[in-house]
Structure 1
C-alpha cells in the first residue's frame, strides 16, 4: 500500500511540474502559429507530414514538409486566413506525391482547415488523398530558469540594473524598464521620440559562460529583420542574433546566428511569446606582446538547450573595428520591446 501511495504521489508530482513550469514559459499569442505533426494518406500509402504555420500580417503561411527541419525542401506552401473560429487554407496547386515525382509537377490541388488544434484537408487531381495533423506543444528549454551557480556574477535578477549602463553615453539614464514580473524590457523611445539605447555591462569580460533568457515581442505585421529583433554582443564585438525567425531556414542573421559570420547548425528558435534561453561560452581572442592577434575568438552556443555552434572560430567582429582581449556584454536595442531575464555569467579567467 505504501508503495502505491508513493507511486501516486510521484505521479501527481510529475504531472504538476510541467504545469508549474509552463506558467514561466509564456504563450504564443495566436492559436495557429507553431508546429503541426500528422500523416497524409494517398494511393501510395501513408506518409508522415509536418507543417509549420507562421503569421504574416493578416495571413498565415503554412509550409508542409516530410520532417520538422525548415531546411528541408517544402512539399507545398499554402496561405491561410482566419474566418470566424478557424484557419482556412486557400486552394493551391502542389506536386504529385507519387514515388519519384515529389516536388516535381504541380498537378494536385490542396485544401485544408485548422480548428481546435487539428489541421485536416485534402489534395485532389492527378493524385487524391487526405492529411490530418495535430498541433504539437513547444517544450521549455532544459536550461530555462537555471539558477546561477555560486561562482557566477549575476548581471540581472529582476531587481535592479546596477551592472548595466548605456553603451553610447554611459552617464545617461537607462530608459529600459523592469516589468512587474521582473523582466528587463527594451524601451526605444524617449519623450515620445525614437531613441534607441543599447545597454552594456560596466564590467569587462574575457573568457566566460553566459546564461540569458529572452522573450520576443509579437510583430506579425513585419517580415525578416523587421520582426522582433535584438542581439547579444560579446566582448562588445561578436553578436549572437535574437530574432523572431521561427520556422525559417536559420541564416546567420536569424536567431541563433553569429551575425554576418556563421549560421547555426539548425534553427532551434521558438515563436514570439515564449521564453527562450541562450547558453554561450566565449573564448576571447589572444594577442602577442606587440598587440597582434595570435588566436581568433571562439564560441559555443546553445539555443533553447540545443547545441547550434560547437567551439567555432569567430574570425572578426560583427561590425568591424578593433578586437580586444576583454570587453563588455551588450544587449542590443533594435527598436523592438524584447524582454530579458535571469542573466548571469561565469568567468573562466
Structure 2
C-alpha cells in the first residue's frame, strides 16, 4: 500500500513539475506568428461570384477563354442569357490557359425535361487536367444522379471510374448545381516517373463528396488508370456523345494555388 502511495505521489509530482516547466519556458507571444501576412482577397458579394484573385473563365457573355479541344478553333457552344449550353456536334471545349494546382468553381444544370436512364441522362464532365483533345485527362463526372441509378463510380460527384462520391448530394433536374473543387496536379520526376499522385477535393452543392482523394492515374473508360508525365494543362468540359439533352454551365472561375510542399 505504501508503494502505491509513493508511486501516485511521484506521478502527481512529475505532472506538476511538467506543468510548471511549460509555464516557465513559454509566454503566449512566443507562439504567435506575425509575418509574412497572408495576401488579401476580397470575396464575392453574390453567390457563385468570383473572388478578387480569380481568373474568370465564363462571365455570362462569351467564350473568349475557351477553344475547341479537337483543333483549338473558337469554342462552338451556345451562349445565351448568361448560360453556356453544350453543343455536342462541336465536341469538347477547353481553356486557352494551362493550369497546375487550383481551386475551381462551376455551376451546371441538367434540363428539367431530361429523358434517358443511367449514363445517358445529362452526361458530361469536367476534366481537371486535359491531356488530349478527346476524353483524356482526369474527370469529375457530371450526370443527373437525383433519382437515376448507375454504377456508383460513374454518378455525379465521382472521380470517374475511380472514386464514388462519399454521398449523393444531387439536386433534381432543372435546378442549378455547384462544384467547388481543389485540384492538386501530379508531380513527375525528370525521367517522367510519377513522384507524387494527383489529389482532388470536391464539394457538391455545399456537401463534401471527395475528400483529398488520391488518383491512380488518368480517366479511362475501359481498363485501369495510369499516369503519363505532363506539365500544366487546360481545364476541359465534356460534350458527351449520349443522346440525352445537353446540359448548361454558368459562373466558372478558377484560383491558381501555389505548389504544394
Fold equivalence (TM over 0.5): yes
Residue 168 of structure 2 aligns with which residue?
A: 267
Gaps of 5+ in 1: 1-142, 189-194
- Name the Cα RMSD after superposition: 1.9
Give the structure with the higher percent helix. Answer: 2
Residue 65 of structure 2 aligns with which residue?
A: 163
Larger Rg: 2
Tell me the matched-pair count: 199
Deviation at 1:196, TM superposition (A): 4.4
| Residues 338, 313 of structure 1: alpha-carbon distance in 2 compared, 3 angstrom cutoff | same
One of 305, 325, 336 as aligned partner of 2:231:
325
Residue 184 of structure 1 aligns with which residue?
A: 84
**How is 1:1-349 mapped onto 2 (pairs within 5 angstroms)?**
145-171=47-73, 173-179=74-80, 181-188=81-88, 195-236=89-130, 237-248=137-148, 251-319=152-220, 322-335=228-241, 336-349=245-258
> CA–CA distance in 1 between the matches of 2:229 and 2:103?
19
Deviation at 1:248, TM superposition (A): 4.7
* Superposition misfits of 4+ residues, deviation over 4 angstroms: none
Q: Does the 8 A contact of 2:78 with 2:87 survive in 1?
A: yes
Provide Cα deviations, 1:107-166, integer angstroms capped at 9, x if missing partner.
Answer: xxxxxxxxxxxxxxxxxxxxxxxxxxxxxxxxxxxx983221111100001111111000
Gaps of 5+ in 2: 1-44, 131-136
Q: Does the 8 A contact of 2:117 with 2:148 survive in 1?
A: no
Q: What SS does structure 2 have at the residue aligned with 1:252?
A: helix
Q: Does the 8 A contact of 1:211 with 1:279 survive in 2?
A: yes
Q: Does the 8 A contact of 2:112 with 2:175 survive in 1?
A: no
Q: Does the 8 A contact of 1:298 with 1:311 survive in 2?
A: yes
> CA–CA distance in 1 between the matches of 2:190 and 2:116?
49
Deviation at 1:315, TM superposition (A): 1.5
The structure showing larger relative contact order (alpha-carbon pairs under 8 Å, at least 6 residues apart) is: 2
Q: Which TM-score applies when normalising by structure 1?
A: 0.54
Provide Cα deviations, 1:77-133, integer angstroms capped at 9, x if missing partner.
Answer: xxxxxxxxxxxxxxxxxxxxxxxxxxxxxxxxxxxxxxxxxxxxxxxxxxxxxxxxx
Q: What SS does structure 2 have at the residue aligned with 1:147?
A: coil
> CA–CA distance in 1 between the matches of 2:70 and 2:233?
14
Q: Which TM-score applies when normalising by structure 2?
A: 0.72
